[in-house]
Chain A
Amino acid sequence: MVNRIIVGAHYGLKDWLAQRITALLMIGYTVIFLVVWPRPMSYAGWKALFAQGWMRFATFLLVASVLIHAWIGMRNVWMDYVKHTGLRLALEVATILWLVGCAGWAMQILWRI
């Protein structure tokens, strides 16, 4: 039984908005990437692309967007299909840890160049 006031608490509005904004950022990155990726592909060109400051800045924003976007999406999936509260909490925590870890890994890849 649903037993709560159903107006006035902004249920999920911020998440909803964050998912849209991160989606637009990722579309923007895709467009930029398609323009600047080295043709023909080579190690030198690939490395030079990611060595540029602005590209790292943009890729950092991409990583942050993926982190937020994937978190909201995966949380929705867990909320829809996993009814056991403890298991759902465990999966949600695992998702956050995994995504934050991946974001750290991505940063290490970019700033090591």
Chain B
Amino acid sequence: MPDLTAKKKRPLWYNLSPLNLPLPGLVSILHRVSGVVLFLGLIAFLYLLDLSLASESGYAQAVGLLRAPIAKLLVIASIWALLHHMCAGIRHLFLDVDIGTSLHTARRSAFAVFIASLALTASIAVRIW
């Protein structure tokens, strides 16, 4: 019977800093960062949903809160996080079913994720500012 136990001693530390992070790698780490941002933003989202559905005055209060420039910046950042996470996630789903796994296509789809999420964020940002 083959010994399937992975007991080879592996290096514990790889020095990756001399390498440039390729675009798909940047999409990947930003997918993680945006996911954590969305997790942290959950409380603000729920607070606003609570306020806006509680009463007429609560709704007006929520609208008022979102008018402040700092709130608008946070909303735009959250929208980017959501769009990047979603676009990168959709790309992931395709990769999972073996679509677009060649290096060339993967690089192009990573680029497309950036362009799509930034362009959509910009178009929404212009409207809400």
Q: Which residues of A contact B (CB under 8 A)?
A: 1-7, 20, 23-24, 26-27, 30, 43, 46-47, 50, 66, 70, 73-74, 77, 102, 105-106, 109-110, 112-113
Inter-chain contacts of A30 with B (CB < 8 A):
86
Greatest chain A CB density within 10 A among B38, B42, B54 is at: B42
Q: Once the chains bind, are A6 and B36 in contact (CB under 8 Å)?
A: no
Inter-chain contacts of B96 with A (CB < 8 A):
20
Docked CA distance A106–B49 (Å)? 8
Identify which of A3, A105, A109 contacts B5 (C-beta below 8 A).
A3
Q: Once the chains bind, are B89 and A4 in contact (CB under 8 Å)?
A: no
Inter-chain contacts of A43 with B (CB < 8 A):
52, 56, 59-60
Main SS of chain B's interface residues? helix
Q: Which residues of B contact A (CB under 8 A)?
A: 4-7, 9-10, 32, 35-36, 38-39, 42-43, 46, 49-50, 52-54, 56, 59-60, 86, 89-90, 93, 96
Main SS of chain A's interface residues? helix
Q: Once the chains bind, are A113 and B53 in contact (CB under 8 Å)?
A: yes
What's the count of A-B pairs with C-beta under 8 Å?
66
User: Please, could you name 11 A-B residue pairs with CB atoms under 8 Å apart, sorted by A?
Assistant: A1-B9, A2-B6, A6-B5, A50-B53, A66-B42, A74-B39, A106-B49, A109-B49, A112-B53, A112-B54, A113-B53
Greatest chain A CB density within 10 A among B4, B9, B46, B56 is at: B46
Q: Once the chains bind, are B53 and A4 in contact (CB under 8 Å)?
A: no
Q: Once the chains bind, are A7 and B4 in contact (CB under 8 Å)?
A: yes
> Given A23-B89, A27-B90, are A70 and B46 also a contact pair (CB < 8 Å)?
no
Inter-chain contacts of A27 with B (CB < 8 A):
86, 89-90
Q: Once the chains bind, are A23 and B93 in contact (CB under 8 Å)?
A: yes
Inter-chain contacts of B38 with A (CB < 8 A):
70
Q: Once the chains bind, are A109 and B53 in contact (CB under 8 Å)?
A: yes
